[in-house]
Amino acid sequence: MSWETVIGLEIHAQLATRSKIFSGASTAFGAEPNTQACAVDLGLPGVLPVVNAGVVNMAVRFGLATDAHITKRSQFARKNYFYPDLPKGYQISQMALPIVGEGAVTVSLPDGTEKKINITRAHLEEDAGKSVHDLFDDCTGVDLNRAGTPLLEIVSEPDMRSAVEAVAYARQIHALVRYIDICDGNMQEGSFRCDANVSVRPSGQTELGTRAEIKNLNSFRFLERAILYEVDRQIDLLESGQSVVQETRLYDSDKDETRSMRSKEEANDYRYFPDPDLPPLVIDNAFIDSVKAEMPELPQLRRARFINDYKLSSTDASALMGDKATAEYFEAVLEGQTFPAKLAANWIIGELSGRLNKENCTIENASVQAPRLGQLLARIDDGTISGKIGKQVFDDMWGTDASADDIIEQKGLKQITDSSAIEAMIDDVIAANPSQVAEYQGGKEKLLSFFVGAVMKASKGKANPGQLNQILRDKLKNA
C-alpha cells in the first residue's frame, strides 16, 4: 500500500521586543537567572498584566505579510496547567479570538515549483520560564527570566505532504519573520521553535490519519529527520496491523528517533477561559494602515523585482533572498555602478558567501562591505583585471581597508591588454614547446588549453583571457 504523509507545523517565534509582553522587564538573552523577572512575571498576588504595544505592532506586521485577516477585537485567554516554571498556574495566550486569522504563504520548493501553504492563525502568548534539572542534586532550579517573553504562535493548516515541504515552509516563515524584523530567528537560543503534527493515510483517502505532535525541533535538519523517522514509525505500525496513538513525542537528535512524552498526556485539559484581567484588544484601520506604512518590502515582492529589474535567474534571486541583509547588500553593491547585476549576484552567492562561511561571519559584519565590492567588480567589468585576479584582490581586501584600486596598483595586477606584450609571451611559449605545437597542428586541438595555461602562467595571470585566446589561436595556426 502507498501512504501519504500529512504535516502541519506550529511555529513559536519569539518577538524581538525590548520588554516582555505583560511587564516592563527586559527580554535580553543570557542574563543571570531571575534578574529579569519582575513581580508580574513571577505571578505575585495583586499584579496586573499590561500589554506591550510593540507586540501588537509585530503581530499585525506578520498578519499583513501573510495576507491574513487581522482580528479587530481579539481576546486573551488563560491556558491552565501546572508546572514550576509557570508561576501563575496559567499561561496567558489566545484561544477563540486570535489577533491574526487565516492567511497564507507561497513556498518555493527545491524542485523549482511553488506551493501555497495556508496558515490557520497566529496568536500572541507569553513564554514560560526555564527549569534546570542537572544543576542541583535533589531539586529542580527555576529561572523565570524567559517567563513573559512575547511569542507569536503560527499554526499552519495540514497542507504539507513531505518533510521537504515542511522544511521549505519553516524556512520561508523563518526568513519572513526576520525580514519584517519581528524575530531574530536564532534557533539555538530558542527564538524560533518548531513543533510538527505528523500523520499518514493511505494514498487517496481524504480523512486524516491519527497524528503525533513532535516537539524539540531546534534546527531545520532535525525537523526533517524527525518527520522522516516519525513517518516510517507510523507506516510500520499501520502495516503491522497496529494503530497510531495521538500523543506528544520528543525528538532525540542523538538517537535520531522520536519517543513518547507520556507526562504531557494528562495535562492536556487546559480549561481555557477569557482572562478577566485583560479586556479585548481593539485594533482599528488607522493602526493597521500605520503598520502597513512602515513595513519593509516583502521577500516575495523583492524576489519578483530582482528577476524583473535585474534580469536575475529565479535561482539567483532566491539565493539572494535568503535573508534581508544579503538582499540589501546586493542592491548596495549595484549602487552607482554600471556592471551587470548578474556579476554582483555571482560574487555574493559564490565568493562572498564562501568567505563568510569560512570565517563564520554574518554579511552585516563582512570585512568587505558593499561599496568596496562594487569597486572591485567595476574593475573586473571594465577589463582592468580578470575575474580570477579579482578573487586574489578580494582576498587581499578582506581584513584590510584597502580599496581594490590600491591593491591592483600596489601589486601590479593590472590586466595586460597590450596585444604586443601578449604576443611576445605567446611567441616565447611556442618557441619553447615545438613538439606540442606539432601535435596541435596535427589535429590534437585539446592542447590549446596547455598553451593558454602556459601563457597565463608567464603573465602571472594578468593576460586578458579573451585577447590571449584569439592571438594564440592565430599564432598556432601559422607557427
Mark the segment that binds other proteins (CB under 8 A) among 2-10, 11-19, 159-167, 429-437. Answer: 11-19
CB of 17 to other proteins, least distance (A): 5
263 binds other proteins (CB under 8 A): yes
Q: Which of 25, 29, 59 is CA-nearest to residue 44? A: 25
Binds other proteins (CB under 8 A): choice among 126, 143, 159, 165: 143
Residue 399: count other Cβ atoms within 10 Å of its Cβ.
10
CB of 20 to other proteins, least distance (A): 9
CB neighbour list of residue 386: distance below 8 Å, 6 or more residues apart: 380, 415, 461, 462, 464, 465
Comparison of 253 and 337: residue with beta carbon closer to other proteins: 253
What residues numbered 282-301 form the site for other proteins, per CB under 8 A?
A: 282
Mark the segment that binds other proteins (CB under 8 A) among 18-26, 221-229, 341-349, 435-443. Answer: 18-26
Q: Could you tell me the strand order of the sheet in which 77-80 lies?
A: 90-93, 77-80, 273-274
254 binds other proteins (CB under 8 A): no
Q: Are 88 and 43 in contact (CB under 8 A)?
A: yes
CB of 32 to other proteins, least distance (A): 6
What residues numbered 50-109 form the site for other proteins, per CB under 8 A?
A: 50-56, 75, 80-84, 89, 96-97
Comparison of 24 and 336: residue with beta carbon closer to other proteins: 24
416-420 CB contacts, 8 Å cutoff, 24+ apart: 416/459, 416/462, 416/463, 416/464, 417/383, 417/464, 417/467, 419/467, 419/471
CB of 328 to other proteins, least distance (A): 24
With cell 522544511, the residue in question is 167
54 burial (CB, 10 Å; 0-12 / 13-18 / 19+) is middle
C-alpha cell of residue 388: 580570477
CB of 72 to other proteins, least distance (A): 11
Residue 224: count other Cβ atoms within 10 Å of its Cβ.
18
217 binds other proteins (CB under 8 A): no
Comparison of 140 and 314: residue with beta carbon closer to other proteins: 140
274 binds other proteins (CB under 8 A): yes
CB of 228 to other proteins, least distance (A): 24
477 binds other proteins (CB under 8 A): no
Please give the Cα distance from 65 to 42 (Å, whole number): 34
Comparison of 32 and 207: residue with beta carbon closer to other proteins: 32
Which residues make beta-bridge pairs with 282? 73
Mark the segment that binds other proteins (CB under 8 A) among 25-33, 62-70, 98-106, 375-383. Answer: 25-33
Binds other proteins (CB under 8 A): choice among 261, 307, 319, 448: 261
Comparison of 291 and 348: residue with beta carbon closer to other proteins: 291
281 binds other proteins (CB under 8 A): yes
Comparison of 143 and 323: residue with beta carbon closer to other proteins: 143
Comparison of 13 and 281: residue with beta carbon closer to other proteins: 281
Q: Determine if residue 461 is left, alpha or beta; phi over 0 gives left, psi from -120 to 50 gives alpha, anything else beta.
A: left
C-alpha cell of residue 46: 495583586
Rg (CA), the chain: 30
111 burial (CB, 10 Å; 0-12 / 13-18 / 19+) is exposed
Comparison of 141 and 322: residue with beta carbon closer to other proteins: 141
Which residues make beta-bridge pairs with 4? 201
Comparison of 201 and 264: residue with beta carbon closer to other proteins: 264
269 binds other proteins (CB under 8 A): yes
What residues numbered 29-48 form the site for other proteins, per CB under 8 A?
A: 32-39, 42, 44
Alpha helices per DSSP H over 298-447: 299-310, 314-320, 324-334, 341-347, 353-359, 370-381, 387-397, 404-410, 419-432, 434-441
Comparison of 143 and 316: residue with beta carbon closer to other proteins: 143
258 binds other proteins (CB under 8 A): no
Comparison of 127 and 316: residue with beta carbon closer to other proteins: 127
Q: Are 89 and 44 in contact (CB under 8 A)?
A: no
23 binds other proteins (CB under 8 A): yes
Please give the Cα distance from 156 to 116 (Å, whole number): 11
C-alpha cell of residue 10: 506550529
Would you tell me which residues interact with other proteins (CB under 8 A)? 17-19, 23-26, 32-39, 42, 44, 50-56, 75, 80-84, 89, 96-97, 131-133, 135-136, 138-144, 250, 261, 263, 267, 269, 271, 274, 276, 278-282
